[in-house]
Amino acid sequence: MIRKFIGKVLRRPGRRVVHAKHYGIRRDQLHSGALKVCDRLQAAGYEAYIVGGAVRDLLLGKSPKDFDVATSATPEQVRHIFNRSRIIGRRFRIVHVPFYDRGGEEIIEVTTFRGSAESPTDASGRIIRDNVYGTIAEDADRRDFTVNALYYDPNTEEIIDFHHGIEDLEKQQLVMIGDPVKRYHEDPVRMLRAARLSAKLGLAIAPDTRKPIRDHAALLENIPSARLFDEMMKLLLSGKAWDCMQALRAHGLHQPLFPLLDKLLSQPETAKFLQKALENTDQRLADDKPVSAGFLFAALLWHEVEALWQKRLAAGESKISALIDAMNDVESKVSKRLAVPNRYSAAMKEIWLLQPRFEQRVGLRPFRLLEQARFRAAYDFLLLRADCGLVEKSLADWWTQFQVSDETERTAMIDLAAKNGQSGDAPAKRRKRSRQRKPAALKQSGN
């Protein structure tokens, strides 16, 4: 009790300033665009710092995903200084300043220091608008975790630490600033951020920050499905997607976001499939390779689609129409929680629809399948299924071989598949037509 009290007194918030060099951080490790934004804002007489995840990641020796700037200038004042910038957001107004770096556009997000005045909330305590501006100290209080309330001044090369963030990084713990229950009510997404950041950075969630999460998970039901989708993407693209999914379940956060996770993780084959899909994603990100959201969602939802597909087939529906109906059922169920944008769900559905076509190794069909724009993703998906024993490995091997073979070899492969009875079912319509054509063929061959 006394120790806890002393601990609280010792951890009183307050401004601590350390030199970044002590932690091995040099100005040249920072994004040139973020440095320019800070320099120009400071030259115009405003305070400006690189803040949040970038400072935290540099202290952890990781390379930051993005660079955010916090300033005393209002969004309009920032907008005035950078002529290509634009103000976005309603709930939180921020300014996007674009820079052209390494061949592409990179955005530096500039936020104005938030004030401590109470922001308007809805019935559940959720902040619905937060555009009251304040000082840097007030801004620090409004940030989520102590390790995210770190401000780096590129000109003095000092880090300002308001909530013992550096100490918590050293202790490898994630601690919510203020009263965690109140902070979760204000913005339930903070619970998802706790799960993601702890998995991604290898930090333990401190007991007081962790304990209320399970009981407050249902608050996420109040969050718009578009924001939940964004958070889901951050979890999946964190570089630790598999760990993040397990963390979601461990903290009871998957129910409002992705309730299927229970079913997936409770069966060894489906858990293995998900683990492989997500670990592949993590590896691709580590190798700086692109990752397709359509592929990820195809993997996350495949088992549900397959289960409904089988049910419809058993009820007598035809193969492809049963698959299409199953896909639509799953899509509409998921969209109530996660607003998956059309461009991703279209890719996801194409990957699913191409799966039964891999079985049709007859005539020109394999050649036509090869020409499909989504062939590569669908083939990778087939490999994943084969890897987990969800489809014959010989089918995946056949397609691996088919791709590297020349025209004559390909035709021979198709003939051999026919001989071995591996041509798959032709779609119903085609079958009917070929039956009609049969007598003519018989006549020709003289039978």
Q: Contact residues for Mg ion (CB under 5 A)?
A: 53, 66
Calpha distance 336→297 (Å, rounded): 15
| Among the listed residues 143, 254, 337, 349, the single contact to ligand ATP using CB under 6 A | 143
Give the pair of three-digit tokens for residue 59. Answer: 């202290």
Looking at the DSSP bridge assignments, the partners of residue 106 are: 99
Calpha distance 194→179 (Å, rounded): 14
Is residue 379 a contact partner of residue 398, using CB atoms and an 8 Å limit?
no
Quote the least distance from Cβ 132 to ligand ATP, whole Å.
14
- Given the residues 68, 139, 168, 243, the one annotated as active site: 68
Is residue 74 a contact partner of residue 133, using CB atoms and an 8 Å limit?
yes
Is residue 226 a contact partner of residue 270, using CB atoms and an 8 Å limit?
no
Give the pair of three-digit tokens for residue 411. Answer: 């035709």
Tally DSSP H helices, then E strands, for the chain: 22, 10
Quote the least distance from Cβ 268 to ligand ATP, whole Å.
32
Active site residue 397: no
143 binds, among ligand ATP, Mg ion, none (CB under 5 to 8 A by kind): ligand ATP
Nearer to Mg ion, 66 or 350 (CB): 66
Quote the least distance from Cβ 112 to ligand ATP, whole Å.
13
Quote the least distance from Cβ 53 to Mg ion, whole Å.
3
| Residues with Cβ within 8 Å of residue 224, at least 6 apart in sequence | 339
Is residue 67 a contact partner of residue 38, using CB atoms and an 8 Å limit?
no
Nearer to ligand ATP, 31 or 365 (CB): 31
Segment near ligand ATP (CB under 6 A), from 17-25, 80-88, 182-190, 361-369?
182-190
Is residue 247 a contact partner of residue 235, using CB atoms and an 8 Å limit?
no
- Given the residues 57, 130, 139, 144, the one annotated as active site: 144
Quote the least distance from Cβ 305 to ligand ATP, whole Å.
30
Nearer to Mg ion, 47 or 66 (CB): 66
| Among the listed residues 46, 48, 52, 228, the single contact to ligand ATP using CB under 6 A | 52
DSSP 8-state symbol, 143: S
| Among the listed residues 31, 164, 190, 240, the single contact to ligand ATP using CB under 6 A | 190
Torsion angle defined by CA atoms of residues 327, 328, 330 and 335, in that order, rounded to the nearest 10 degrees: 130
| Among the listed residues 21, 65, 80, 431, the single contact to ligand ATP using CB under 6 A | 65
Calpha distance 186→138 (Å, rounded): 16
Active site residue 415: no
249 binds, among ligand ATP, Mg ion, none (CB under 5 to 8 A by kind): none
Which residues, 362 to 391, sit near ligand ATP by CB under 6 A?
none
Give the pair of three-digit tokens for residue 278. Answer: 């997500």
Neighbours of 365 (CB within 10 A): 19
Active site residue 66: yes
| Among the listed residues 16, 60, 66, 424, the single contact to ligand ATP using CB under 6 A | 66
Quote the least distance from Cβ 192 to ligand ATP, whole Å.
9
| Residues with Cβ within 8 Å of residue 72, at least 6 apart in sequence | 46, 47, 48, 112, 113, 135, 136
Query: Which residue's beta carbon is nearest to the bound Mg ion?
Result: 53
What kind and span of H or E run contains 18?
strand 16-19
Contact flag: residue 53 with ligand ATP (CB under 6 A): yes
Contact flag: residue 187 with ligand ATP (CB under 6 A): yes
Residues that bind ligand ATP (CB under 6 A): 52-53, 65-66, 68, 143-144, 148, 187, 189-190, 234
Active-site residue list: 66, 68, 144
